[in-house]
């Protein structure tokens, strides 16, 4: 199946893929949470412009846990055990670095996206 480059959904997916990790980290740095809660927070932060799926968020959370950016503990609510993710100092430093790069890049690129040729 060929890519539909004329589709806004294609470009929305590309945007989500490129910024999703940073937004997941930001959501956890704001406050600890479990996977589904983090998905909802990212969607709310971006006014639904970026809404990661479970298939996206859990591998990213695991990657951040393995590298030391997040810690995880189990919390049982009404008989259900959930993994709750918390930012570590390394995770907060990673967020600051990521935000600096994105802010700089957006400032440099915004003028080139302003006008349609």
Give tens-digit pLDDT for 17-59: 778 999 999 999 999 999 999 999 999 999 988 888 899 899 9
**Length, in residues, of the chain:** 117
Q: Are 85 and 38 in contact (CB under 8 A)?
A: yes
Tens digits of residue pLDDT in 60-115? 999 999 999 999 999 998 999 999 999 999 999 999 999 999 898 888 888 787 77
Where exactly are the structural domains of the chain? 8-108
**Does residue 1 have a pLDDT over 70?**
no
Q: Which residues pair with 24 in a beta bridge?
A: none
* Gyration radius of the chain's alpha carbons: 16
Q: What is the pLDDT of residue 40?
A: 96
All residues at 6 or more sequence positions from 7 whose CB lies less than 8 Å from its CB, including other chains: none
Domain 8-108 has CATH 1.10.10.10: yes
Q: What is the pLDDT at residue 115?
A: 72
Asked whether the beta carbons of 40 and 48 are under 8 A apart, the reply is: no
């Amino acid at each position: 199946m060929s890519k539909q480059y004329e589709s806004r959904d294609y470009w929305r997916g590309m945007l989500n893929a490129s910024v999703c990790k940073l937004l997941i980290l930001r959501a956890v740095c704001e406050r600890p949470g479990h996977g589904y809660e983090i998905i909802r927070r990212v969607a709310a932060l971006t006014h639904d412009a970026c809404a990661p799926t479970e298939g996206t968020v859990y591998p990213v959370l695991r990657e951040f846990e393995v590298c030391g950016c997040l810690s995880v503990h189990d919390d049982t609510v009404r008989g259900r055990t959930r993994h709750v993710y918390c930012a570590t100092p390394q995770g907060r430093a990673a967020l600051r670095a990521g935000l600096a790069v994105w802010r700089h890049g957006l400032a440099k690129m915004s003028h080139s996206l302003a006008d349609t040729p």
